[in-house]
Amino acid sequence: MAPQDFTFRAFAQQGFYRNLNARLVDMAGITPGQRIVDLACGTGAVTKLILERLKSARESVVIGIDQSSIALRQAIEELANARESAIQFVQGKVEHLSQVIKESVDTIVFCNGIHYIEDKGSLLEEVQKTLKPGGVFAFNTSFFEGAHTPESGQFYRRWMFKAIRDLKDNYGLMPVRSEKVESRKQLTPEQYEALLVQHGLRIQSKEISTVQVPLEGWLDISQFEDFISGIMPGVPLDKASTSLKESVTKTFQELNISVVPRNWLHVVAIRV
């Protein structure tokens, strides 16, 4: 039996998620000839969006950075035929950005990952060091104070209650709450803005998008390692994922819904 895939690959292929990241890439103002970093590139879904904006410009350089060797292998497979622009994939932590990228860049894109960073101030110092003067840092996140819409509260409460009960009944397990991961500690948009300004980055644009996430989106995110660890810290991935997926399916059925709204925060800042 093939091992389970706990990467972001399945969720990254969701249409609504691609559209969200395409919006951020457009907000970043990427143009041919630039040197661009796709931070926490994962399996290359956003890297592909960036390449589409570069319009086959051979003088462009795109560098994807991720700490997962498995995700990077998938990214290389996904973009095997993209030869027009120079593409590099580098294994490394986003917190070590300036050590990985020796030459300054025009743009850094960080899609749906900043919430996982424990020391966001140190990350922004790395971003500031790596960007050229006037360079762009664009990020989005669905884990911030305000991501849950008021009408989605019942869904989350019921889903989590069912998932915890399923985990206990079927496996005799409970999450280890003392191991709360960083994505569960959420900042407000204003707190993100203040952090950026403190680290020499001026806000160019900021917006919040509300998207309708179908059941398939929740099933796919429930097999992503970082999401699972955030919801059920200390629980084996396979068991936690199974409980989350079975419970979210039942919750959709009981509430008789086809989608759940979720807010995404998009921010673009300029290095002063």
Q: Which of 12-21, 81-90, 252-261 is the least confident region?
A: 81-90
Q: Which of 94-108, 110-124, 181-195, 214-228 is the least confident region?
A: 181-195
Return left, alpha or beta for 136; rule: phi > 0 is left, psi -120 to 50 is alpha, else beta: beta
* Average pLDDT value over all residues in the chain: 94
Return left, alpha or beta for 82; rule: phi > 0 is left, psi -120 to 50 is alpha, else beta: beta
Which fold is adopted by the domain 9-150+180-213+259-271? Answer: Rossmann fold (3.40.50)
Average pLDDT over residues 178-206: 87
**In the chain, where the domains are located:** 9-150+180-213+259-271
Is 79:44 a contact under the CB 8 Å cutoff? Answer: yes
DSSP 179: G
Average pLDDT over residues 5-20: 94
Average pLDDT over residues 226-234: 93
Q: What gap in Å lies between CA 94 and CA 64, rounded to an integer?
A: 10
pLDDT for 84: 64
Return the beta strands (E) in 40-186 as ranges. Answer: 61-66, 86-91, 105-111, 131-141
Residue 200: band (very low, low, confident or very high) from pLDDT cuts 50, 70, 90 = very high
